[in-house]
């Protein structure tokens, strides 16, 4: 059997967190004297340090051609692991053996010089990867076509939007022939069409070209559809390494219920949306207006999207419509829903809430994932934001309640994406 292309053995990374220790009361004169003394010593005030283990004794192998997802809550150690594998950060202990050329896309702007043009950055990145100029020239047109930045190719990248940055960065990382492609959460910045394009490219480089892909994302539908194996990190340790469905279900079991049913996008460093509309928050609530992620099968729920319209459309005939997609844990699309025509209209500048009511006795006993988006449409559709797998809810039934009533003895999961209670009539003929 061939050696793994990535071997991680007992890998740990410790950071020292320093904080200023409050001093007892001093006069202003004493504080100024102590401050100047501190400057001379290269310090200001008294500090204390605390060890923070971002990773703690993790081990795993990745073989050629594998697509491995890495998931976990914020602070679990995902980004630290990828930076170590990309040789950006040194581990505190342990080792990570990499066999092959690595192309990394860790965060917006990584590896790009802001003063250089898109064209110059392509050649610079290729040189960093050890490619000859002739090799880069051979791939150049393909990179530009994929990134869709032809008009801005000779513009310094410091003037690029975050979406343009990501398109070009991914195109460079994926096309300059790395044996190992490492992609962090940055794809969430791109629009829905580009996300789909990137997923197709990653699938192509792994299955057809035999390249290895490490993929970090909070969007579980992407993880489920792309990855053959998933590693779940919690507090710097590996909790599970196995099938996507097992790892994803374990991830959601470990999350707090409120985090599954509510997401506040205003607290994220990268805004979700464009110059026309931004996503502010989304939520899942029951009929009592409580955030819920565990749903009784007989309970009605509503999914809400709060968003801000930032500018008026030039053509008032354009319609603005929100949308939700409901997917199963196996990445099956259950259904798509958007408001009826009489609610669709061009919206003025302001904040809006769109809510969709999901009926009781409709879903199967299953975990479902929610995509949310917003677009405008007249002659063509323009997607202003789209977040995949951003929330989830689990539907279950209390057997004692349903055994002899609505479910006729069929408890728990049965085949089918949904299992609605529909109206029937039975008539005697003759």
Write down which residue in 231, 254, 277 finishes a domain: 254
pTM: 0.58
Pairing of strands 180-183, 212-216: parallel
CATH number at residue 345: 2.70.50.60
Q: At what angle do helices 162-175 and 118-128 cross, to 10 degrees?
A: 40
The per-residue pLDDT for 293 is: 85
Residue 107 and residue 86 in one domain: yes
Taking only the tens place, the pLDDT of each residue in 230-256 is 999 988 999 999 888 778 777 766 654
Residue 204 and residue 165 in one domain: yes
289 dihedral zone (left: phi>0; alpha: psi -120 to 50; beta): left
Residue 248 and residue 262 in one domain: no
d(CA 248, CA 263): 18
Q: How many domains does the chain have?
A: 2
Residue 270 and residue 283 in one domain: yes
Burial tier of 247 (Cβ tally within 10 Å: 0-12, 13-18, 19+): buried
Distances (CA, A) of 422 to 155, 300, 302, 395, 418: 59, 15, 20, 18, 12
Asked if residue 430 is part of any domain, the answer here is no
Residue 206 and residue 345 in one domain: no
Residue 346 and residue 217 in one domain: no
Residues of the chain with pLDDT under 50: 20-22, 39, 43-45, 256-258, 399-406
Domain extent at residue 86: 54-254
Write down which residue in 254, 289, 309 finishes a domain: 254
What is the 8-class DSSP label of residue 426?
-
Residue 212 and residue 78 in one domain: yes
Taking only the tens place, the pLDDT of each residue in 9-24 is 999 999 876 654 445 5
Asked if residue 126 is part of any domain, the answer here is yes
Per DSSP, which regions of 184-341 are E strands? Answer: 212-216, 229-234, 237-242, 262-264, 277-286, 294-296, 301-309, 319-328, 333-337
Residue 227 and residue 342 in one domain: no
d(CA 25, CA 402): 67
Residue with tokens 């057809």: 208
Contact 386, 404 (CB under 8 A): no
Write down which residue in 254, 275, 290 finishes a domain: 254
Residue 290 and residue 243 in one domain: no
Residue 84 and residue 154 in one domain: yes
String of DSSP letters for 313-346: -SSTT-EEEEEEEEEETTS-EEEEE---GGG-B-
Asked if residue 196 is part of any domain, the answer here is yes
Number of neighbours of residue 352 by Cβ within 10 angstroms:
16
Structure-derived torsion over alpha carbons of residues 358, 361, 366, 368, reported in degrees to the nearest 10: 0
Residue 210 and residue 324 in one domain: no
CATH number at residue 85: 3.40.50.300
Asked if residue 268 is part of any domain, the answer here is yes
Residue 263 and residue 200 in one domain: no
Query: How far does Cα 217 stand from its chain's mean position?
Result: 4
Contact 351, 311 (CB under 8 A): no
Computed from CA positions of residues 361, 362, 366, 372, in that sequence, does the dihedral angle turn out positive or negative? negative
The per-residue pLDDT for 31 is: 56
């Amino acid at each position: 059997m061939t050696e793994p292309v990535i071997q991680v053995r007992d890998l740990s990374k410790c950071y020292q967190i320093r904080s200023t220790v409050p001093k007892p009361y001093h006069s202003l004169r004493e504080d100024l004297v102590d401050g100047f003394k501190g400057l001379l010593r290269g310090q200001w005030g008294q500090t204390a340090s605390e060890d923070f283990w971002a990773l703690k004794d993790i081990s795993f192998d990745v073989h050629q051609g594998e697509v491995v997802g890495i998931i976990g809550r914020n602070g679990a150690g995902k980004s630290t692991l990828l930076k170590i594998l990309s040789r950006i950060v040194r581990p505190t202990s342990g080792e990570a053996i990499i066999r092959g050329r690595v192309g990394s896309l860790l965060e917006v702007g990584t590896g790009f010089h802001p003063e250089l043009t898109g064209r110059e950055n392509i050649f610079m990145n290729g040189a960093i990867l050890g490619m000859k100029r002739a090799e880069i020239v051979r791939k150049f047109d393909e990179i530009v076509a994929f990134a869709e930045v032809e008009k801005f190719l000779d513009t310094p990248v410091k003037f690029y939007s975050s979406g343009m940055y990501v398109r070009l960065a991914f195109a460079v990382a994926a096309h300059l022939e790395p044996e190992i492609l490492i992609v962090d959460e940055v794809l969430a910045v791109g629009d829905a069409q580009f996300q789909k394009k990137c997923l197709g490219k990653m699938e192509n480089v792994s299955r057809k070209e035999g390249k290895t892909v490490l993929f970090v994302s909070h969007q579980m539908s992407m993880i489920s559809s792309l990855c053959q194996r998933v590693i779940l990190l919690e507090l710097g340790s590996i909790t599970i390494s196995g099938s996507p469905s097992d790892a994803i279900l374990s991830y959601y079991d470990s999350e707090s219920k409120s985090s599954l049913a509510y997401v506040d996008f205003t607290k994220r460093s990268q805004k979700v949306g464009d110059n026309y509309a931004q996503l502010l928050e989304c939520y899942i609530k029951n009929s009592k207006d409580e955030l819920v992620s565990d749903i009784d099968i007989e309970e009605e729920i509503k999914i809400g999207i709060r968003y801000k319209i930032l500018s008026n459309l030039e053509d008032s005939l354009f319609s603005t419509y929100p949308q939700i997609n409901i997917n199963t844990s196996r990445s099956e699309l259950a259904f798509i829903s958007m408001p009826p025509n009489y609610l669709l209209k061009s919206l003025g500048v302001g904040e809006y809430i769109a809510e969709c009511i999901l009926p009781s006795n409709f879903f199967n006993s299953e975990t479902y994932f929610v995509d949310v988006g917003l677009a405008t449409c007249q002659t063509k559709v323009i997607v202003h934001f789209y977040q995949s797998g951003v929330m989830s809810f689990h539907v279950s039934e209390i057997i004692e309640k349903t055994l002899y009533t609505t479910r006729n003895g069929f408890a728990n999961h049965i085949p089918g994406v949904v299992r609605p209670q529909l109206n029937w009539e039975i008539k005697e003929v003759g």
